[in-house]
Amino acid sequence: MPPPRPALAFAAASLLALTACGTGTEEAKGADGLTVVASAYPLQFLAERIGGDQVSVSNLTKAGGEPHDVELSPRSLVDLRQADLVIYQSDFQPAVDDAVADLDNAHDVVPAAHLELTATDDGHDHGGDASTGSAKAAPDPHFWLDPTKYADVADDVAEQFAQADPAHAAGYRTRAQELRGELDDLDREFTAGLAHCAQDELVTNHAAFGYLAAAYGLHQEAVTGLSPESEASPQDLADAIAHLREHGITTVYAETLLPTNVVDTIARDSGADVLVLDPVEGVTEESSGRDYLEIMRANLTTLERGQQCR
Ligand SMILES: [Zn+2]
């Protein structure tokens, strides 16, 4: 047998290279479904529930990370470009806003979430970040803690999936409808559970629970503001303690992903108890449940106890 001609050897090498390349792409893209990047856990959960087997979902915020101040790795930036669809919310994670600015595969869920609360709507007026003076009040991003708002965003995500992958549109819409049913159940449980509480003042660490409070007749007073990175000043602590005394509040809430020192200080100085609420910004071993629905039900049980509901 004669040795292979140079042209044939070249063709074989090219074929090998192509195959290797194709395999890599296949792994990144999944079989024939959509690859979706979600910017934080609440959108990851929606994407997974609505996408079912048709979608492979990754999360820019790693498990146990706090999403507000996420930093994106070079790998994440590549994933964002290669994804069929990026689901994010503007004005929540500055690093994500920057990263999606020049992408045309990114969808902002904020219009569907109807963010009508701002930092100053929680009753205390710290004027936002003191260093920026008269900065306009930032919208409260934590819409998912109101299950009815979360269901509206689920519908929006389903429509995005349907447009990106029309062959599976019916499945996306059906699963969004099923999820809405579960979120309606959750909403009913919260309404009933928090209907008769001795205390309607809710003192939290960062101001994540404004939409939940608004939906169920509570009034949130947060120690640190909309983002957990905003440091609590001695004045913030003094204000919180005065607020506890004024309203006879006996429970303050720490959070799963945050250090408890701020809340512990307030509790020590005021004699209040500390319970832990979870703003569902990430799921870890320490979380009170395995997913959004379980964690929200644990939050309800905690609130019924802390707000003395019957
Ligand atoms: Zn938050």
Same CATH fold, 197-306 and 30-186? yes
Domain 197-306, CATH homologous superfamily name and number = Nitrogenase molybdenum iron protein domain (3.40.50.1980)
Sequence letter at residue 125: D
- Domain regions of the chain by residue span: 30-186, 197-306
H helices within 52-89, ranges in order? 74-82
Nearest one of 244, 292, 253 to 276, comparing CA atoms? 253
- What is residue 229's three-state secondary structure? coil
Q: 9 alpha carbon to ligand 1 midpoint, in Å?
A: 59
Q: 67 alpha carbon to ligand 1 midpoint, in Å?
A: 7
Tens-place pLDDT, residues 78-94: 999 999 999 999 999 99
d(CA 74, CA 79): 9
d(CA 274, CA 58): 34
Burial class (CB in 10 A: 0-12, 13-18, 19+), 130: exposed
Q: 208 alpha carbon to ligand 1 midpoint, in Å?
A: 5
Sequence letter at residue 63: A
Q: Identify whether the C-beta of residue 68 lies closer than 8 Å to the C-beta of residue 93.
A: yes
Q: Which two tokens stand for residue 187?
A: 């909403």
Q: Identify whether the C-beta of residue 143 lies closer than 8 Å to the C-beta of residue 156.
A: no
Q: Identify whether the C-beta of residue 29 lies closer than 8 Å to the C-beta of residue 35.
A: yes
Cα 296–Cα 297–Cα 302 angle in degrees, nearest 5: 95
Torsion of CA 8, 14, 20, 24, to 10 degrees: -150
Q: Which helix (H) or strand (E) holds 273?
A: strand 273-277
Q: 217 alpha carbon to ligand 1 midpoint, in Å?
A: 20
d(CA 235, CA 240): 9
Q: 64 alpha carbon to ligand 1 midpoint, in Å?
A: 13
Q: 93 alpha carbon to ligand 1 midpoint, in Å?
A: 10
pLDDT by 10-residue block (mean), the chain, 310 residues: 47 43 40 89 98 96 88 95 97 96 97 88 40 60 98 98 97 98 98 97 93 96 81 87 94 88 90 95 90 98 97
User: Hey, what CATH class is 30-186 in?
Assistant: alpha beta
Angstrom distances, CA of residue 96 to CA of 62, 222, 294 = 13, 25, 27
Q: 226 alpha carbon to ligand 1 midpoint, in Å?
A: 6
Q: Which two tokens stand for residue 94?
A: 């500055």
Q: Which two tokens stand for residue 91?
A: 């004005």
Q: 205 alpha carbon to ligand 1 midpoint, in Å?
A: 10
**pLDDT the model gives residue 136:** 59
Q: What is the CA radius of gyration of the chain?
A: 23
**β-bridge pairing 106-108 and 219-222:** unpaired
Cα 238–Cα 242–Cα 245 angle in degrees, nearest 5: 140
Q: 153 alpha carbon to ligand 1 midpoint, in Å?
A: 17
